[in-house]
Amino acid sequence: MRFWSKTTKSARLGVSAGLLALALAATACGSSGGTSASSGASATPHAGGSLTVLEDSGYEGAWPAGLDPATNTSGAADQSYMDSIYGQLFELGSHGKIIPDMATGYAFSNGGKTVTIHIRPGMKFTDGTPFNAQAVVWNIQRDLKSPCTCKPTWPVSSVTAQGTDTVVINLKMVFAPIISSFIDSTANWIASPTALKKMGEKQFALTPVGAGPFIVVSDTLSSVLVLKRNPNYWQKGRPYLDKLTFKSVGGDEAAYEALLAGEAQVYENMSTPALLKQAAQHFTVVNQLSTSPYDLQLNTAIPPFNNIKAREAIYYATDIQPIVSHIFDNLYPLTQSFTAPGGICYQPKVPGYRTYDLAKAKALVKQLGGLTVNLGTINILVAKETTQALQTEWAKAGIKTTISSYDLGPLIQQFTGKKWQAMVQTAGAYDPAAGVGVGFRFSSLSPFSGVHDPRLDSLLNQASGTLDMSTRCKLYDQAAAYISQQAYGPFYFSFAPANIAAKGVIGPGLTSPLSSVVVTPNVPWEDVSNSGGSTG
């Protein structure tokens, strides 16, 4: 900086032209060296200051429907904003455990059909109205009635308040993952009923009111969200930051350069391996713990995968290790089931799982008289690169593959059209029975499943109806073994993006890994501090 201030304008332009050429060359050569991740320093949190967080405009950086829990269908992607504004009844803590937050605890009774949730007493929304059991019940009932599919998928018969601090949820049947599923449903975010009624739904979605650690200052949809500290937040001394700004930016490269320029301090969920390597040289890079492994869904209702030999050929023709090594720099652990390191019941190995065997794959393809596959996936980089690598590998076994990638709408149409053959997707969740869990991809009842097997349905239903965790995990082991035995779909690797933070920023998810909720982790921004500079 000092050097440049002494140069003349023309000299700057000349050097700029040189830099342009250098930068072009650097772009062409790609990244060099670097570690895959570096751990942040453990330091004492610093109260005050501000922080600017960048989010990819293609996913987390889009909140086009606003931030009302009942109507924001991008809730899973927008959890940073939602948590900051509303707080959470339960949160997924640093050690992969569900922790009561604005709730203080819960209990099952009536054989597991009644769940009693205790609400932290004395809290207030930022509009001054009480945050109590009545408000929680009002929100959950509103969520359940909402047409949004982000609503809780519990088998509820009633939700009532007992006194001011107790909520009672009666279920039609035992649903063991009910507490786990708070973290990936809208029921976790409690809006101020008074503010919502006063403003109306549309306005509330733009200027939401909760009891979370931060208060909305301004909200330009899918562009900039400015928050300030909630001085009356229930947890004394939190949040550390006085101001928190989220900015939507067009992709990993632009975000990385903005971080380098010092105009933001955090970028959530980077997934470009080459940039991760470079970022580790300048910033704290923390790879998160995955809960949703990539898998290959096979449509067993139509040819060619209604024939187990075709499915087996795919298992044998796939060597996932080189793909993870060469494309993803060994960032993600391999798995043979729908569980992952950040979730419960993690079991990466499945007995009898068919591993890479090119000779067997070729023999099966020969027996089938050839195998042609239409392989699809969602239109994101990791998934597309995986399909390209699979196409190359399968070709060695004589499998002819056509690959396609789809945006969300067309992808859903592929599933509802039921003509799809194979899809690279993610299957699994923190709790396999919650959210986009195993049932979402393998249950007969799901429109996004390629499997229609009553025995597997029964196993999955038994698991979700069992309160004892060790018994549940055994049932999921059995389900994973059954999926493998029937060759219903191979599992690949447990992908989770990384968070990038400037030096001086500390907090869970930024200097230590967190388990992912759905695909991305849930940074508790009230626990984040920044002792470095900020443009905030």
Partner 1 sequence: MAAEAGPAPAGRAVLGSPGLRLSGRRLLAAIPVLWGVTFLTFVLMNLLPGNAAQELLGANATPADVRALELKLHLNEPFWTRYWHWLSGVLHGDLGASLTSGQPVTSILAQRLPVSFELMIYAFCLSVLLAVPVAAAAAHRPGGWADRLSMMVSMAGLSIAPYVLALLLIFIFAVRLQVLPAIGFVPLGQSVVGNIKSLTLPALAIGLPLACFYTRLLRADMVEQMQGEDYVVTARAKGVAPWQVLIRHAMRNSMFGFLTVLGLNLGTLIGALVIIEPIFALPGIGQVLLQSIHDRDIVVVEAVVLVFALIVVLANLLTDLLYALLDPRIRYGRPAA
Query: Of the candidates 136, 167, 183, 249, which one interacts with partner 1 according to CB under 8 A?
Result: 249
Q: Tell me whether residue 58 or residue 130 sits nearer to partner 1 (CB atom).
A: 58
How far apart CA 81 and CA 83 sit, in angstroms, is 6
Q: Tell me whether residue 136 or residue 429 sits nearer to partner 1 (CB atom).
A: 429
How far apart CA 121 and CA 11 sit, in angstroms, is 65
470 binds partner 1 (CB under 8 A): no
Number of residues that bind partner 1 (CB under 8 A): 57
Amino acid residing at 156: V
Q: Using DSSP, state whether 394 is helix, strand or coil.
A: helix
Contact 252, 525 (CB under 8 A): no
25 binds partner 1 (CB under 8 A): no
28 binds partner 1 (CB under 8 A): no
525 binds partner 1 (CB under 8 A): no
23 binds partner 1 (CB under 8 A): yes
Please give the angle made by the CA atoms of 194, 198 and 200, to the nearest 5 degrees. Answer: 115
247 binds partner 1 (CB under 8 A): yes
10 binds partner 1 (CB under 8 A): no
261 binds partner 1 (CB under 8 A): yes
Residue 259 beta carbon to partner 1: minimum distance, rounded to whole angstroms: 9
Q: Tell me whether residue 86 or residue 204 sits nearer to partner 1 (CB atom).
A: 204
How far apart CA 499 and CA 259 sit, in angstroms, is 12
Residue 73 beta carbon to partner 1: minimum distance, rounded to whole angstroms: 4
Side-chain half-sphere CA neighbours of 495 within 13 A: 26
Contact 53, 213 (CB under 8 A): no
Q: Using DSSP, state whether 348 is helix, strand or coil.
A: coil
251 binds partner 1 (CB under 8 A): yes
How far apart CA 113 and CA 106 sit, in angstroms, is 13
Contact 529, 45 (CB under 8 A): yes
Site mask for partner 1 (CB under 8 A), range 443-462, x = bound: ----xx--------------
277's tokens: 């390597």
210's tokens: 């909760």
Query: Of the candidates 150, 270, 350, 481, which one interacts with partner 1 according to CB under 8 A?
Result: 150
Between residue 377 and residue 436, which ones bind partner 1 under the rule CB under 8 A?
Answer: 407-413, 416, 436
Query: Of the candidates 174, 258, 327, 358, which one interacts with partner 1 according to CB under 8 A?
Result: 258
Residue 224 beta carbon to partner 1: minimum distance, rounded to whole angstroms: 6
Show the 3-state SS of 5-61: HHCCHHHHHHHHHHHHHHHHHHHHHCCCCCCCCECCCCCCCCCCCEEEEEEECCCCC
246's tokens: 């989220």
Q: Tell me whether residue 147 or residue 352 sits nearer to partner 1 (CB atom).
A: 147
Between residue 70 and residue 109, which ones bind partner 1 under the rule CB under 8 A?
Answer: 73-74
Q: CA-CA distances (angstroms) from residue 312 to 58, 354, 481?
A: 36, 8, 14
Distance of CA 504 to the CA centre of its chain: 25
Residue 365 beta carbon to partner 1: minimum distance, rounded to whole angstroms: 32
Q: Tell me whether residue 19 or residue 43 sits nearer to partner 1 (CB atom).
A: 19
H or E stretch including 291?
none
Query: Of the candidates 16, 32, 325, 392, which one interacts with partner 1 according to CB under 8 A?
Result: 16
The values of phi and psi at residue 400, to 5°, are: -90, 125
Between residue 118 and residue 147, which ones bind partner 1 under the rule CB under 8 A?
Answer: 147
Q: Cα torsion for 366, 367, 373, 375, to the nearest 10°?
A: -90
334 binds partner 1 (CB under 8 A): no
Amino acid residing at 526: E
115 binds partner 1 (CB under 8 A): no
47 binds partner 1 (CB under 8 A): no
250 binds partner 1 (CB under 8 A): yes
Q: Tell me whether residue 310 or residue 505 sits nearer to partner 1 (CB atom).
A: 505
Residue labelled with tokens 């290790």: 321
Residue 117 beta carbon to partner 1: minimum distance, rounded to whole angstroms: 24
Query: Of the candidates 148, 274, 368, 403, which one interacts with partner 1 according to CB under 8 A?
Result: 148
Residues making contact with partner 1 (CB under 8 A): 1, 4, 12, 16, 19-20, 23-24, 27, 54, 57, 62, 64-66, 73-74, 147-150, 201-202, 205-206, 220-224, 247-251, 253-254, 257-258, 260-264, 407-413, 416, 436, 440, 447-448, 535
